[in-house]
Structure 1
Amino acid sequence: MTGSAAALLPLALSLVWLIAANVIAMFPSRDKHWRVAYVLIAVGVPILGWATWESGPVVGLLLLAAGASILRWPVVFFWRWLRRQAG
């Protein structure tokens, strides 16, 4: 694969991840989507790392912000946990 084509694959996978996360969020869930959030995190972190490696830190930070906006409650609870551990 050429350099630019290799950089497009992780970006395409990131876009698929973002669309899938939004579609999943539209359906009701008994556990408020926590099980799905864990799967999305487990799949999204390697994609994020790959996209950052191929496209640079600016793209990686943009994708991280997009993912955090979709999975905002796990991020909020993680932040609260960190604050409890520090204080």
Structure 2
Amino acid sequence: MISLSLTLACVWALVANILAMTPSRDFHWRNAYILITVGIPIVGFVAYQHGPWVGMLVLAGGCSVLRWPVIYLGRWLRRAGRNTPAE
């Protein structure tokens, strides 16, 4: 039997793919923010119901769909790490 959390994760992935196929003036950034806001609790719910390994698999799937926000976050963190003063 499939659980509610995995059903929500599949619906999230379906909506994310449909949104990716629609035209957008802001290069889908508004959609990405909404998907991130809705997706984080879903990943937590999956991890709560099925354990951390399945939660990490769902997180990896979400990161593959939202790869550009993840790339920009990595660049920002790398830049922030270089700007810290040495102690």
TM-score by length of 2: 0.91
1:86 positional shift: 0.5
* Larger helix proportion of the pair: 1
- Compute the RMSD of aligned alpha carbons: 1.1
Instruction: Measure the CA separation in 1 of the matches of 2:38 and 2:56.
Output: 17
Q: Where does the alignment leave 5 or more consecutive residues of structure 2 unmatched? A: 83-87
Point out which structure has higher relative CO (alpha carbons under 8 A, 6+ apart): 1
Q: Report what 2:26 is aligned to.
A: 31
Rg larger in 1 or in 2?
Answer: 2
Check if 1:15 corresponds to 2:30.
Answer: no
Gap regions ≥5 residues in structure 1: none
Identity %: 54
TM (norm. structure 1) is: 0.91
Per the TM alignment, residue 16 of structure 1 is displaced from its structure 2 partner at its CA by 0.1
Q: Once superposed, which parts of structure 1, at least 4 consecutive aligned residues long, lie more than 4 Å away?
A: none
Residues matched between the structures, number: 82
